[in-house]
Structure 1
Amino acid sequence: MNSHDQSVESADGTRLVVRRLGVGDPVVLVHGSGGGLHSWAAVADDLAHDHEVWLPARRGYGPSDVPPGVKSFRDETADLVAVIETARRSSGRPVHLVGASYGATLALHTTSAEPRDVRSLAVFEPPLFAAGAEIAPLLNRYRAAFERDDAAAMAAALNDVTRVPAEVVAAIAAGAGDRRPDPVEARRSAVGWLHDLEALAQDSTDITRWSSIAVPTLLLAGADTWEPMPTTMNALATTIPAARYVVWPGQSHFVTMTAPALVAQALRRFFAGVPVA
């Protein structure tokens, strides 16, 4: 699928690189921590057969700008609003907003604050439990490891944030074998994680704040994802009572990579049922 990269300027002048592909109703796909332009690639290629897909690299993740200072969800909400407004101007239509993991938390923030151009919202496993004061010491641990370029210590701190079980960590490591990440990509991911942790440390674990979301909403989860994600998703489903809630058997937090066709199919079915704005 042919794609085109363009720049979008946020309210504070931060330059965001956005990949665009396909033709049709606009869809904005927001990546999680450690991701980038590539994160939604397989899902985007599928959706682009009948949708105009927009893939922003969030601030802190190259090739977008890495601004100085401590990042907040307010900054990233302004970024995402700029991307949504650009997609709206391009197509003349409001967007379907989709986020995975940290990107899902950001999509919730953005829809709650600025729903005007959001036609629908789909969120996959936002880590709403990983926020606030308990993240601050993990941020400090991660920052210290980052500054000495200690990949193992960075990974250990992140595992304590995401609460990935040890056996899952071991399975991922075994699957990687002797493959080593590209050092440029690894550093880009590490920088992005640092900024994401800054925003999470200032955020709240209060799930009830999302009760004001009124756009058509789809909640997505994998049945095999570890706690506290299932409890978190159930609480979110209670908070947004009009939301549709889909749990995929045999899938986990990595479903956008392991089963992209399943994700694209669920999104396409959801979009088709959203009233025309």
Structure 2
Amino acid sequence: MNSHDQSIESTDGTRLVVRRLGVGDPVVLVHGSGGGLHSWAAVAEHLAHEHEVWLPARRGYGPSDVPAGTKSFRDETADLIAVTESARRSSGRPVHLVGASYGATAALHTVLADPRPVRSLAVFEPPLFAAGAEIAPPLERYRAAFDRDDAAAMAAALNDVTRVPAEVVAAIAASAGDRVPDPVEARRSAVGWLHDLEALAQDSTDISRWSSIAVPTLLMAGADTWEPMPTTMATLAATIPAARYLVWPGQSHFVTMTAPTLVADALRQFFAEAPPL
């Protein structure tokens, strides 16, 4: 399906590149760490038959701007409010806001700050356990490895944050085989991860703050994702009033890539059941 890219300016002048495709009620898909314009592509293709899909590259991830200074979730929130407002103005209709992983945390912050442009919220496995002071040591290790372009040391620092089990890390490495990452894309991802870690280090692990979210909310998770994500998601489901909680058997934290049709179908059904405008 045809798409086109446009720029949206955030409140501090940061330029955000957004990819748009499809026609219908607007959906904003927010990517996780290490992602970009491509992250939701497979899901977006399914949704675009019935929805106008907006795919922003978050600040810190090219082709959007990479501002100097330390990033925070205040920046992410301002950016997503700018994107959702643009989508709302363009269509005349409020937005279905969807986030995966770190992008889900950013979406939660955004709805808490300003729910007005948002018709519904869907989040997949936000890493709410990975925040605050405990992120500072791996952040500094990552920064040092980033400065010397040491990919292995960067990956090791990230594993301390994401808590991916060693066997999963090994399986991912084995599946990659001899393929060498594109150096430009790898560096773009590394830059984005650095800024995301900065925001996480300033954030809180307090899940109770999300209890005031009142928009229709869908929580999504994979049954095979490792702890502490399942416990985190169960706590979040008990915290947001009337949130719907969907757990996919046989899926893990990578479901948006491994089973995009499953994700798109769940989102389409959720959007269709949202209260009428």
Scaled to the shorter chain, the TM-score interval is over 0.9
Partner-residue secondary structure (3-state), 2:28: strand
The secondary structure found in structure 2 opposite 1:96 is: strand
Counterpart for residue 181 of structure 1: 181
Query: Structure 2: any 5+ residue segments left out of the alignment?
Result: none
Q: For residues 19-58 of structure 1, what are the structure 2 equivalents within 5 Å?
A: 19-58=19-58
Q: Deviations over 1:164-191 (max 9, x none)?
A: 0000000000000000110000000000
**What value does the CA root-mean-square deviation take over the aligned residues?**
0.4
Q: For residues 274 and 53 of structure 1, what CA distance do their matches in structure 2 show?
A: 17
Q: Letter of the 1:60 partner, please give it.
A: G
TM-score (norm 2): 1.00
Q: Would the aligned equivalents of 2:54 and 2:87 in 1 still touch at CA under 8 Å?
A: yes
Corresponding position of 2:238: 238
- Report matched runs for 1:146-165 at 5 Å: 146-165=146-165
Alignment-derived partner of residue 135 in structure 2: 135
Distance, in Å, in 2 between the alignment partners of 1:88 and 1:156 is: 41
**How far off its partner does 1:241 sit?**
2.9
Matched, 1:87 2:87: yes
Partners in 2 of 1:147 and 1:276 — Cα distance? 51
Residues 1:167 and 2:167 aligned together: yes
Q: Which residue of 1 aligns with 2:61?
A: 61
Percent identity between the two aligned chains: 88
1:52 maps to a residue whose letter is E
Alignment length (residue pairs) = 277
**SS of the residue aligned with 1:242?**
coil
Which one-letter code corresponds to 1:186 in the other structure?
Answer: A
Counterpart-to-counterpart distance in 1, 2:30 and 2:143: 24
Q: Which amino acid aligns with 1:224?
A: D
Amino acid at match of 2:162: T
Q: Within the alignment, does 1:121 sit opposite 2:121 as a pair? A: yes
Aligned-residue offset at 1:84:
0.4
* Aligned amino acid, residue 23 of structure 1: V
Per the alignment, in what secondary structure is the counterpart of residue 12 of structure 2? coil
Q: Give the TM-score of the pair, scaled to structure 1.
A: 1.00
